[in-house]
Amino acid sequence: MSASMIRRRVVVHGTVQGVFFRDTCRREASRHGVNGWVRNRPDGAVEAVFEGTVDGVGSMISWTRQGPPSAQVERVETAEEPFEGLAGFGVRQG
């Protein structure tokens, strides 16, 4: 495993459900070569895990601060986690 590979968990608060946040996130992750997953939370937030290069994950975190055009992001919480080596990027239910 390369030291340049990182993992971050983000929780995005605001008007982020029902605005194609998850599907757009999946497409952005693919574009940046980032693995992981994204899901809606019962509290109205969206949670995601991003794994990849520092640049790729950084780009995804930056993207979550705005999200897709219909989203209204109020705040983004970011936590560092140990890299697991996930493959692909999926949209999870609940």
Extract the tokens encoding 28: 């952005």
Decide if 40 is catalytic: yes
**Catalytic entry in 7, 26, 35, 40:** 40
Give me the phi and psi of 41, to 5 degrees please: -105, 155
Decide if 35 is catalytic: no
**Catalytic entry in 7, 22, 26, 35:** 22
b (16+ CB within 10 A) / e for 68-86: beebebeebeeeeeebeeb
Hey, which residues are catalytic here?
22, 40
